[in-house]
């Protein structure tokens, strides 16, 4: 059992805090966003993350989980402090470390005894050393000599299944040079340790590199199958058969071989750009990663071309988009392909009818710039409302709710029978059987 403060209660901080409490630790979650904290205190989870509400409720009731905006007070009394703040991309693609620096400095200003500072945010290689420097500078300012260790403990959870992923990780990475900190981290994750989850113990820099390398590799896999899909379309092959056979090869594996409109979200786009940046800065450019970034941008725009090639000029046409979140089971639209595709369609003169099971609130502000002239965007009440009098359905997110559409009803609501299934959810035969003109990716 450990006493932990978690700084930042976004997607990673809220899940980490709640699940660490579920492991039997005493956790205080801190955020500078007072509205978020008020909402969490009332048991209202500000993000859409299945199962998180139950974990929060259970642990708040047990007294193991608390929320506060008072970082100094939390740091003073907790010997372990996780940093889980955002590391968004800057204009040149590198990671913006201002929130990590602010958190580290605030820790240095407030800590009173030996503290293990755990970096859970995804940060460039070398950031752990900077965190040591920032905390030391603040302690120096205070004229205090308080011992502390910094640990890199990257997070691999997937939004949409974050609670499961946090509690059933493929591995836990602990990067530190401090022997005491290493022991304390094992105590924090004691429940997993007893379940024989593999622990990778290494130094700070390797742990930081592991997270970027993992995300870059997955992005490579997605872009690889997207390019194979594009070639399949030209060559008369079916990418789903190709991917199935590839995935059966134990050296390759079946995951991340689903072609689609390009990867998005808060991690892959920013982390690949940040890693490419680090490579260039170190004089070791990562050609594969650079190529994947460009390939993914092309893939999103290719979807706009595909729709135009099917429909002809988009000027004045109304198109329904179902699915706006970057993937199913989240309301997160950060760098969602839906944004680029919606922009591309509107630029070419289309009007859009939009719907998503969870991301409507996000879409309202993220797509606000496209709303002029009036009537360009319509935010629908449900999936079938979105289809009314649209000349095409574009399916962009693989929500379960969208896997089982009544295709006869779809056909009857559309003014023209075009169906762009950009997640390859449906079979061409079933769509064509009701009179829809079907376009998938790579088949």
Contact residues for ligand NAD (CB under 6 A)? 7-13, 30-33, 36, 71, 84-87, 99, 102-103, 121-122, 155, 157, 159, 266-267
Residue closer to ligand NAD by CB (options 25, 122) is 122
267 is catalytic: yes
Q: How many CB atoms neighbour CB 90 within 10 A?
A: 15
Reference 60, options 27, 90, 109; nearest CA is: 27
Minimum CB separation from ligand NAD for residue 268, in Å?
10
**Least CB distance to ligand NAD at residue 211 (A):** 7
Residue nearest to ligand NAD (CB): 10
**CA 436 to CA 267: how far, in whole Å?**
35
User: Please, how many CA atoms are within 13 Å of residue 263, restricted to the half-sphere of its CB?
Assistant: 28
- What contacts 24+ positions apart, CB below 8 Å, involve 284-293? 286/216, 288/220, 289/216, 289/219, 289/220, 292/216, 292/219, 292/220, 292/223, 293/269
3-state secondary structure (DSSP) of residue 315: coil
Return the number of the residue (86 or 442) whose C-beta is nearest ligand NAD. Answer: 86
The token duo for 176 is 């530190």
Alpha carbons within 13 angstroms on the beta-carbon side of residue 272 total 27
CB of residue 5 to ligand NAD, shortest distance in Å: 10
Smallest gap from Cβ 156 to ligand NAD, in A, equals 6
Nearer Cβ to ligand NAD, position 86 or 357? Answer: 86
Look up residue 52 and give its DSSP letter.
Answer: H
Q: How far apart are CA 101 and CA 79, in angstroms?
A: 19
Nearer to ligand NAD, 86 or 417 (CB): 86
User: Of the two residues 106 and 383, which places its CB atom closer to ligand NAD in the complex?
Assistant: 106
Minimal distance, residue 52 CB to ligand NAD, in Å = 12
Q: Of 232, 267, 282, 391, which residue is the catalytic one?
A: 267
Measured CA angle at 363 (ends 297, 69), to 5 deg:
105
Residues noted as catalytic: 267
């Amino acid at each position: 059992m450990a006493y932990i403060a978690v700084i930042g209660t976004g997607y990673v901080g809220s899940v980490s805090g709640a699940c660490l409490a579920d492991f039997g630790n005493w956790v205080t979650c801190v955020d500078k966003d007072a509205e978020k904290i008020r909402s969490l205190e009332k048991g209202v989870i500000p993000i859409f993350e299945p199962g998180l509400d139950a974990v929060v409720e259970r642990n708040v009731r047990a007294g193991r989980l608390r929320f506060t905006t008072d970082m100094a007070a939390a740091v003073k009394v907790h010997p372990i402090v996780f940093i889980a703040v955002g590391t968004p991309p800057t204009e040149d693609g590198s990671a913006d470390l201002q929130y990590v620096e602010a958190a580290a400095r605030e820790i240095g200003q407030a800590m009173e005894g030996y503290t293990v500072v755990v970096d859970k945010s995804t940060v460039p290689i070398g950031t752990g050393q900077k965190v040591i420097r920032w905390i030391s500078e603040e302690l120096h300012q205070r004229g205090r000599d308080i011992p502390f260790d910094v640990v890199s403990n990257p997070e691999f959870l997937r939004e949409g299944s974050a609670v499961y992923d946090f509690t059933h990780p493929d591995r836990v990475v602990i990067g530190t040079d401090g022997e005491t900190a290493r022991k304390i981290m094992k105590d924090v994750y004691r429940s997993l340790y007893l379940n024989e989850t593999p622990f990778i113990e290494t130094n700070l820099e390797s742990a930081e590199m592991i997270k970027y390398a993992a995300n870059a590799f997955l992005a490579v896999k997605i872009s690889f199958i997207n390019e194979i899909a594009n070639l399949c379309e030209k060559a008369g092959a079916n990418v789903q058969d190709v991917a199935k056979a590839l995935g059966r090869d134990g050296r390759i594996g079946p995951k991340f071989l689903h072609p689609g409109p390009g990867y998005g979200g808060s991690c892959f786009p920013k982390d690949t750009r940040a890693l490419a940046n680090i490579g260039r800065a170190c004089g070791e450019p990562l050609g594969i990663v650079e190529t994947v970034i460009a390939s993914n941008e092309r893939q999103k725009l290719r979807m706009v071309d595909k729709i135009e090639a099917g429909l002809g000029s988009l000027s004045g046409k109304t198109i329904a988009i179902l699915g706006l979140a970057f993937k199913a089971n989240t309301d997160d639209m950060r760098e969602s392909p839906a944004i680029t595709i919606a922009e591309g369609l509107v630029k070419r003169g289309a009007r859009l009818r939009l719907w998503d099971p969870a991301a409507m609130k996000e879409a309202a502000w993220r797509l606000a710039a496209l709303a002029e002239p009036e009537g360009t965007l319509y935010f629908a009440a449900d999936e079938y409302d979105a289809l009314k009098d649209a000349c095409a359905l574009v399916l962009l997110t693989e929500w379960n709710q969208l896997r089982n559409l009544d295709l006869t009803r779809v056909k009857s609501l559309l003014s023209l029978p075009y169906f762009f299934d950009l997640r390859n959810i449906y079979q061409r035969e079933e769509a064509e059987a009701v009179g829809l003109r079907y376009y998938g990716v790579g088949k």
